[in-house]
Amino acid sequence: SLAKTYQKQGRLDDTERLVKEVLEAQKLKLSHNHPDTLTTMHTLACMYQEQDRWEDAERVLKEVLEARKLKLGDEHPDTL
């Protein structure tokens, strides 16, 4: 993806901007709890981890985990 290309080039500001744009569009078009939206949120959290932004990563990952538990259940592989 373009975001991954930016990330590999070290263009982290561009990566974050693009991922957040995609995330907002997905929340509007799909829903906050749609699997694609949750995947993008997970991507954002991983990007935060790579930048040592641990508090931001934790916040987003907790959101993803709670949404996946509600949507998929506690025992689904994407929740575990």
7, 47 contact by CB (below 8 A): yes
DSSP structural state of residue 18: H
Confidence (pLDDT) at 9: 93
pLDDT tens readout for residues 13-66:
999 999 999 999 999 999 999 999 999 999 999 999 989 999 999 999 999 999
Structural domains in the chain, sorted by start: 2-71 (1.25.40)
pLDDT for 80: 66
Neighbours of 16 (CB within 10 A): 19
Q: Which residues make Cβ contacts (< 8 Å) with residue 61, sequence separation at least 6?
A: 42, 45
Q: Return left, alpha or beta for 52; rule: phi > 0 is left, psi -120 to 50 is alpha, else beta.
A: left
Indicate if the pLDDT at residue 71 is higher than 90. Answer: no
